[in-house]
Amino acid sequence: AQSVTQLGSHVSVSEGALVLLRCNYSSSVPPYLFWYVQYPNQGLQLLLKYTTGATLVKGINGFEAEFKKSETSFHLTKPSAHMSDAAEYFCAVSGGRGAQKLVFGQGTRLTINP
């Protein structure tokens, strides 16, 4: 079975500061990893994904994430936070034959302080 743990249900940073959202996964098969963002009262939007190949993945809005197999981690970063980054962020894993479903972490609410 696959699972995802997001460390910190709420992260608060100042505008212009580094954003770091942590995600650790558990998977018995090579994982496919995703970060989604959810703005209030909206659906989920893909930020970035890791499938195979380069372990540093760049996404939209200046976000990037690095897949570290030895640490079973896929942390999301952004060098400089913007007020518009305030949202709920979800890390998710899928993988394995017949397991075409996303297993989500519990989410991290990102607050940006002016």
Q: Which of 7, 49, 66, 72 binds other proteins (CB under 8 A)?
A: 49
Q: Which residues, other chains included, contact 49 with Cβ-Cβ below 8 Å and sequence gap of 6+?
A: 32, 33, 34, 35, 57, 59
Q: How far is the CB of 100 from other proteins (least distance, A)?
A: 5
Nearest to 106 by CA among 4, 33, 13: 4
The DSSP line for 80-98 is S--GGG-EEEEEEEE-STT
Q: Which stretch binds other proteins (CB under 8 A): 16-24, 47-55, 61-69, 77-85?
A: 47-55
Task: Decide if residue 104 touches other proteins (CB under 8 A).
Answer: yes
Q: Which stretch binds other proteins (CB under 8 A): 16-24, 39-47, 61-69, 70-78?
A: 39-47
